[in-house]
Amino acid sequence: MKPLKSGAVIGILGGGQLGRMLASAGAQLGFDVSILCPEDRCPAARTAAQHVRSSYEDAAAVLEWARGCDVITYEFENVPVRTVQTLVAAGITVRPGAKPLQASQDRVAEKTFLRACDIATADFAEVNGPGDIAAPLDRFGGNGILKTRRDGYDGKGQLRLEAGDDFDAAHKALGNHPAILEALVPFEREVSVIIARGAVGDMLCYDLPRNQHVNGILQRSVVPCGLSDAVIKQACDAAQRLAGALDFIGVLALELFVLEDGSLIANEFAPRVHNSGHWTPEACATGQFEQHIRAVAGWPLGPVTRFHDAEMLNLLGEEAFVPPKTLTADGVLTLYGKHDAKPGRKMGHLVRRLGPAT
């Protein structure tokens, strides 16, 4: 595919806040963005040139929509693999393709893929029923996290387990879905690598943010992350191996635990722009949303030079609403246009520039 020209149409599967910010970034580069999303008033539709309502599973409808676009991308990792495969088989360019979805939708496949890239993960075991829990839990030292293999996000679909807990009840609480038991990782901090890979395989890593979660939901990301150059290089090398192995085009996030001795354990990856990169538009020469659009459009990547130390604070539920918090905050506010402020729901974020980049 040749680099897209201004006025070309970029189709995005998914209508959430990531699609919204991608749509705005696409418009800044002169593209028309078309959102495919089943919901009537999704956040992304309100900043995009076009919105087509369809189920992601309706491959025929998705294909019809995609034929009106010059390239397709996605903003969430649970787009059905089969839908993307249908598009690709019909000659549609999808960036990134089906492979990153296959590798990230299932936690067992994800960890297996990471290990094949020589990236360490926590110990894990497949759990197809409550009887599969006791043995690996014992092997992990009597502590672990039980997670559904699919569809978990923001701490949903997971439970801490200890030896002696009621495994039947635990597995039932996760809907008796196929699950994975993961060993606990005694991490000292969490970081992520936001990496962009262009259409010709060139790669750029943003400075790593340090991420702080509360109840499984990202609360704060801060740059710089405070790690040594050597550890940062290891993290970026790992992300490059992953992006290369996935034939990735676009922006990808690799979440990492850092142990006391500086060794790195991958938690998971997201084949898309990421919440922990939301500080990049305000702190860097090129933000992650523009970067993803550039890669998907076949344009050269933009520089990831960081100008500011910065922190990004997620605004959850009612705390996103004015007054008084966001009106008077000394930072750059982004709200996602969601009307239903359920507790814990990501409604917006605030980026505070903390001083010149150190």
Quote the CA–CA distance of 194 and 251 in Å, as a whole number. Answer: 7
The encoded tokens of residue 256 equal 């990492």
CB 342 within 8 Å of CB 317: yes
Coil, strand or helix at 22 = helix
- The helix (H) or strand (E) run that includes residue 62 is helix 59-66
Of 33 and 122, CB closest to a copy of itself: 33
Of 26 and 157, CB closest to a copy of itself: 26
Cα–Cα distances (Å) from 123 to 70, 143, 181, 187, 262, in that order, read 42, 11, 8, 14, 18
Of 24 and 211, CB closest to a copy of itself: 24
Long-range contacts: 139-144, Cβ < 8 Å, 24+? 140/181, 140/183, 140/184, 141/183, 141/184, 143/183, 143/184, 144/181, 144/182, 144/183, 144/184
The number of beta carbons lying within 10 Å of the beta carbon of residue 357 is 16
Of 52 and 179, CB closest to a copy of itself: 52
Burial of 44 (0-12, 13-18, 19+ CB in 10 A): buried
Min dist CB 241 to a copy of itself, Å, is 28
Of 187 and 299, CB closest to a copy of itself: 299
Q: Which residues bind a copy of itself (CB under 8 A)?
A: 3, 5-7, 20, 23-24, 27-32, 45-49, 285-286, 299-300, 303, 307-308, 320-323, 327-328, 330, 332-337, 339, 347-348, 353, 356
Min dist CB 34 to a copy of itself, Å, is 10
Min dist CB 29 to a copy of itself, Å, is 6
CB 204 within 8 Å of CB 239: no
Min dist CB 36 to a copy of itself, Å, is 17
Of 230 and 327, CB closest to a copy of itself: 327
Min dist CB 21 to a copy of itself, Å, is 8
Quote the CA–CA distance of 224 and 229 in Å, as a whole number. Answer: 11
Min dist CB 18 to a copy of itself, Å, is 14
Min dist CB 15 to a copy of itself, Å, is 13
Of 153 and 307, CB closest to a copy of itself: 307
Collect all residues with Cβ–Cβ distance below 8 Å to 247 and sequence separation of at least 6.
Answer: 96, 97, 99
